[in-house]
Structure 1
Amino acid sequence: MSLVKEFIKKTIFENKVTIFSKSYCPYCLGAKDLFDDIKVDYKALELNELPDGVEIQQALAELTRQKTVPNIFVNQVHVGGADDLKSALDSGKLATLLNEAGIKNKL
C-alpha cells in the first residue's frame, strides 16, 4: 500500500471525524460549519495547503470513488461529500454515527 493511502487510513482511524477539505471550497466550509454548529470536533486536512494534497485527493478517489471535496468520514465510515452529509443529517444517520462513536453532539 502506498504511503499516501497509509496516511489516509491512519488519519481516519485516529480521528472520530475527518474532513478532507480545501480551504477555499464553499462546500467544505459548509460541512465544517455544520460540525461546528452541533459542537463536534473534527480533523480537517486542507489539501490545497499540503505538499502532497494532490496525491491525497487521488488516493481518496481510489479508496472512496469520490473525486471531490469535502470527503467526510465519521467513526471510520465514509459519509461522502457535502450533499451526503446533509442527507445523513436529515435522515438521522449522522446522529447514529456520532452516537456509535461516543461523540457528544447537539443533534
Structure 2
Amino acid sequence: MSAAKTRAQSLIDENAVVVFSKSYCPYCDSSKKLLKSLNAKFTVLELDQDEEGSAIQSALAEISGQRTVPNIYIKQKHIGGNSDLQAKKDLKELLADAGAL
C-alpha cells in the first residue's frame, strides 16, 4: 500500500468524521459550514495545502471510487460529496452515532 493510501486510510480509521477538502472549493465550504452549524467535531485535510495532497486524492479514488472533493467519511463509512451530505436526512443521528456531536 502506498504511503498516501496508508495516510488516507489512517485518517478515515482514526477520526469520527473526515472531510478531504480543497481550500478554494465552494462545495467543500458548504460541507464544512453544515458540519460546523451542527457543532460536529470533524477533521479536515486540505488537499491543496498538503504536499501529499495529489497522491492522497488518487488514493481516495482507489478507496471510495470518488476522486472529487469534498470526499466525506462518517464513522469510517464513505458518505460521498457535498450534495450527498446535504441530502442526509439522518445526518444528526449519524454524527451522534459516530460520537461527533
Which consecutive residues of structure 1, in runs of 5 or more, have no partner in the other structure?
A: none
Q: Which residue of structure 2 aligns with residue 44 of structure 1?
A: 44
> RMSD of the alignment, in Å?
1.0
Aligned to 1:102: 99
In structure 1, distance between residues paired with 2:28 and 2:99? 24
| 3-state SS in 1 of match to 2:24 | coil
Q: 1:6 to 1:12 in 2, by over 3 A?
A: same
Gaps of 5+ in 2: none
Per-residue deviation at 1:33? 0.3
1: CA distance, partners of 2:2 / 2:74: 23
Higher relative contact order (CA 8 A, sep 6+): 2
Match of 1:31 in 2: 31
Cα deviation per residue 1:18-58 (whole Å; 9 max; x = unaligned)? 00000000000000000110001211000000111111101
Alignment partners' CA distance in 2, 1:96 and 1:36: 15
Letter in 2 for 1:98: L
| Matched residue, 2:7 | 7
Q: CA deviation at 1:95?
A: 2.4
Shift of 1:8: 0.8
Say whether the 8 Å CA contact 2:17–2:100 is kept in structure 1: no
1-side partners of 2:61 and 2:44: how far apart?
Answer: 17
Following TM superposition, where does structure 1 have runs of at least 4 consecutive aligned residues deviating by more than 2 angstroms? Answer: none
SS at match of 1:66: coil
State the percentage of identical aligned residues: 45
Taking the aligned partners of 1:54 and 1:67, their CA distance within structure 2 comes to 10
Task: Provide the TM-score with structure 2 as the length reference.
Answer: 0.94
